[in-house]
Structure 1
Amino acid sequence: MSASETAPIRWSARMVRPQADAGVGTQASFVAKSFTVAVPSGNEVLHISALGLYRAFINGKRVGNDLLTPGWTVYDQRLSYQSYAVGDLLVAGENRVEIWLADGWMRSQLMWGKAPIFNTWGKDIAAIVELRAAPGLDEAVLLTDDSWESGTLPILKSGIYFGEIFDARLAPTVTAGTEVLDFDTSILVPHETTPVRELEPLPVVKSWRDDEGRTVYDFGQNAGGNVAITVKGAAGARVIVEHGEVLDKDGQFYNGNYRTAAARIEYILAGTGEEHYWPYFTFQGYRYVRVTIEGDATLSDIVSVPVSSVTELKAGFSSANPLVDRLFLNTVWSQRANFIEVPTDCPQRDERLGWTGDAQVFAGTAAYLGEVHGFFRKWVRDVMADQREDGAVPHVVPDPTRMYPEGYPGFYGSTGWGDAIAMVPWQLYLHYADKAFLAEALPAMVKWVDFVWSISDGPIVKPPRAWGARGFSFGDWLQPSGPSAKPLPTIGDDAAATIYLFITSSLVARIATITGDTATAERLSRMADEVKAAFAREFITPSGRLAYDDQTSYALAFLHDLIPEDKREAAKAYFKSAIVRTDGRIGTGFIGTPALLPALVKIGEPGIAAQVFLQEEVPGWLYQVKMGATTIWERWDAIQPDGSIYNPQMNSYNHYAYGAVCQWLLEGVAGFQPDPEAPGFERILFEPVIIPELSPVKAHHDSPRGTIRAAWTVEGHRVRYDIEVPAGSRGVLRLDRYADITVNGQAVGGTSEVGPGRHTIEFTFTPVPGLALDKVEINARTP
Structure 2
Amino acid sequence: MVRPQADQGVGTPASFVAKSFSLEAVGGGEVLHISALGLYRAFINGQRVGNDLLTPGWTAYDARLSYQSYPVSHLLRAGENRIEIWLADGWLRSQMMWGGSPIFNTWGDRIAAIAELRAAPGSETTLLVTDESWESGELPVRKSGIYFGEVFDARIVPKVAAGTEALPFDTAILVPHETTPPRELAPLPVVRSWTDADGRTVYDFGQNAGGNVAITVTGAAGAKVSVEHGEVLDKDGQFYNGNYRTAAARIEYILSGNGKEHYRPYFTFQGYRYVRVTIEGDARLTDIVSVPISSVTEVKASFTSANPLVDRLFLNTLWSQRANFIEVPTDCPQRDERLGWTGDAQVFAGTACYLADAQSFFRKWVRDLVVDQREDGAVPHVCPDPTRLNPKDYPGFFGSTGWGDAIWMVPWQMYLHYGDTAILAETLPAMVKWVDFVWSISDGPIVSPPRAWGARGFSFGDWLQPGGPSAKPLPTIGDDAAATLYLYIAATHVAEIARISGDVATAERLTGMAAQVKEAFGREFITPSGRLAYDDQTSYALAFLHDLIPEDKREAAKGYFRNAIKRTDGRIGTGFIGTPALLPALVKIGEVGLAAEMFLQEEVPGWLYQVKMGATTIWERWDAIQPDGTIYNPQMNSYNHYAYGAVCQWLLEAVAGFRPDANDPGFANVVFEPVIVPELSPVKAHHDSPKGRIAAEWTADGEAVRYAFTVPEAGKGCLVLNAAYRDAMLDGRPVSGTVDGIAPGAHVLTFNYSAPVRHKKDGPSINARTP
Do structure 1's residue 375 and structure 2's residue 344 form an aligned pair? Answer: no
- Name the residue aligned to 2:428: 442
Look up the match of 1:724.
710
The Cα shift of 1:728 comes to 1.6
Q: Give, in whole Å, the separation in 1 of the partners of 2:736 and 2:715.
A: 21
Specify the alignment match of 1:617 in structure 2: 603
Unaligned residue ranges in structure 1 (runs of 5+): 1-14, 776-783
| Superposition TM-score, scaled by structure 1 size | 0.97
Q: What secondary structure does 2:152 align onto?
A: strand
Task: Compute the displacement of 1:81 (Å).
Answer: 0.3
> Does 1:27 find its partner at 2:13?
yes
Equivalent residue, structure 1, for 2:245: 259
Give the letter for the 1:496 counterpart.
Answer: A
| Contact 1:719–1:762 (8 Å) recurs in 2 | yes
Q: Given the alignment of the two structures, is residue 568 of structure 1 paired with residue 558 of structure 2, yes or no?
A: no
Q: 1:389 aligns with which of 368, 372, 375?
A: 375
CA distance in 1, matches of 2:739, 2:388: 52
Q: Which amino acid aligns with 1:39?
A: A
Measured against aligned partners, the alpha-carbon deviations of 1:41-80 in whole angstroms (never above 9, x if no partner) come to 0100100000000000000000000000000000000000
**Which of the numbers 212, 219, 240 marks the counterpart of 1:233?**
219
1:245 aligns with 2:231: yes
- 1:173 CA drift (Å): 1.1
Q: In the aligned structure 2, how far is the partner of 1:69 from the partner of 1:488?
A: 47
Work out the CA distance in 2 between the residues paired with 1:189 and 1:536.
47
Given candidates 505, 518, 521, the residue that maps to 1:535 is 521
| 8 Å CA contact retained: 1:477, 1:589 | yes
Q: What is the deviation of 1:405? A: 0.5
Match of 1:748 in 2: 735
2:327 corresponds to 1:327: no
- Determine the structure 1 residue equivalent to 2:268: 282
Deviation at residue 767 of structure 1 after TM alignment = 1.1
* Higher mean C-alpha displacement, 356-365 vs 725-734: 725-734
Q: How does 1:771-782 map to 2 (within 5 A)?
A: 771-774=759-762
- Give the secondary structure class of the aligned counterpart of 2:161: strand
Paired residues for 1:667-746 under 5 Å: 667-737=653-723, 738-746=725-733
Shift, 1:726, TM fit: 1.1
> Aligned AA for 1:179?
E
Which among 106, 110, 119 is matched to residue 124 of structure 1? 110
Q: Does 1:489 align with 2:475?
A: yes
Separation of aligned partners in 1, 2:739 and 2:704: 19
Alpha-carbon contact 1:610-1:770 (below 8 Å) kept: no
Letter in 2 for 1:746: R
Work out the CA distance in 2 between the residues paired with 1:417 and 1:683. 30
Deviation digits for residues 343-363 of structure 1 (CA, Å, limit 9, x no counterpart): 000000000000000000000
Matched, 1:41 2:27: yes
Report the residue type matching 1:511 in the other structure. Answer: I
* Alignment equivalent of 2:444, drawn from 458, 461, 475: 458
- How many Å apart are 1:774 and its aligned residue? 3.9
Q: Is the 8 A contact 1:741 1:750 kept in 2?
A: no
- Cα distance in 1 for partners of 2:640, 2:422 equals 33
| Contact 1:334 1:632 survives alignment (8 Å) | yes
Within-5 A mapping of 1:424-435: 424-435=410-421
Query: Pick from 410, 414, 422: which aligns with 2:400?
Result: 414
What SS does the corresponding residue of 1:522 show, helix, strand or coil? helix
Trace 1:569-588 onto structure 2 (pairs within 5 A). 569-588=555-574
Q: Structure 2: which amino acid aligns with 1:763?
A: F
Q: CA deviation at 1:749?
A: 1.5
Q: Per-residue CA shift, 1:204-254, capped at 9, x if unaligned?
A: 000000000000000000000000000000000000000000000000000
Q: CA deviation at 1:769?
A: 2.2
The one of 764, 776, 780 aligned to 2:752: 764
Look up the SS of the partner of 1:403 in the other structure: coil
The count of residues paired between Structure 1 and Structure 2 equals 761
* 2:133 is equivalent to residue 178 of structure 1: no
1:163-214 CA deviation, whole Å, 9 max, x = no partner? 0000000111110000000000000000001110000000000000000000
In structure 2, distance between residues paired with 1:404 and 1:729: 48
1:146 aligns with 2:132: yes
Deviation at 1:399, TM superposition (A): 0.3
Letter in 2 for 1:316: S
Output the CA distance in 2 between the equivalents of 1:158 and 1:449: 41
Shift of 1:771: 2.1
Q: Partners in 2 of 1:178 and 1:567 — Cα distance?
A: 72
Code of the residue aligned with 1:136 in structure 2: it is G
| Whole-angstrom CA distance in 2 between matches of 1:487 and 1:259 | 29
2:581 — aligned with what? 595
Residues 358-413 of structure 1: per-residue CA shift (max 9 Å, x gap): 00000000000001000000000000000000000000000001111010010000
Deviations 1:103-137 (A, max 9, x none): 00000000000100000000000000010001111
List 4+ stretches of structure 1 deviating above 4 A.
Answer: none
Alpha-carbon distance in 2 for matches of 1:770, 1:381: 47
Specify the alignment match of 1:12 in structure 2: none
Code of the aligned partner of 1:757: G
1:236-274 CA-partner distances (Å, limit 9, x unpaired): 000000000000000000000000000010000000000
Alignment partner of 1:520 out of 480, 501, 506: 506
Q: Secondary structure at the match of 1:402?
A: coil
Aligned counterparts of 2:29 and 2:89: Cα–Cα separation in 1 = 32
Q: Work out whether 1:165 is the aligned partner of 2:151.
A: yes
Segments of structure 2 that go 5 or more residues without pairing to the other structure are 764-771
1:739 deviates by 1.5
1:750 CA drift (Å): 2.1
- Note if contact 1:131-1:142 (Cα within 8 Å) is conserved in structure 2: yes
Deviation at 1:772, TM superposition (A): 2.2
Letter in 1 for 2:388: R
1:364 counterpart residue number: 350
Return the offset for 1:773.
3.0
Q: Which residue of 2 aligns with 1:56?
A: 42
The secondary structure found in structure 2 opposite 1:723 is strand
Residue identity opposite 2:733 in structure 1:
Q
Find the counterpart in structure 1 of residue 61 from structure 2. 75
* Partner residue, 2:81: 95
Trace 1:97-112 onto structure 2 (pairs within 5 A). Answer: 97-112=83-98
* 1:115 paired to 2:98: no
Please tell me whether the aligned partners of residues 505 and 528 of structure 1 are also in contact (alpha carbons under 8 angstroms): yes
Matches within 5 A, 1:327-366: 327-366=313-352
DSSP 3-state at the match of 2:571: coil
CA distance in 1, matches of 2:757, 2:83: 69
Return the alpha-carbon distance in structure 1 between the equivalents of residues 758 and 13 of structure 2: 62
Give distance in 2, aligned partners of 1:163 and 1:230.
18
Q: CA deviation at 1:140?
A: 1.0
CA–CA separation in structure 2 for the residues paired with 1:676 and 1:770: 33
What pairs with 1:546-565 in structure 2 (closer than 5 Å)? 546-565=532-551
Residue 731 of structure 1: SS of its match in structure 2? strand
CA drift of 1:97 comes to: 0.6
Letter matched to residue 718 of structure 2: V
Return the alpha-carbon distance in structure 2 between the equivalents of residues 690 and 601 of structure 1: 11
| Matched residue type, 1:769 | V
SS at match of 1:43: coil
Give the Å deviation of 1:138.
2.3
Is the contact between residue 476 and residue 590 of structure 1 (CA under 8 Å) also seen in structure 2?
A: yes
Q: Secondary structure at the match of 1:174?
A: coil
Find the partner of 2:296 among 286, 292, 310: 310
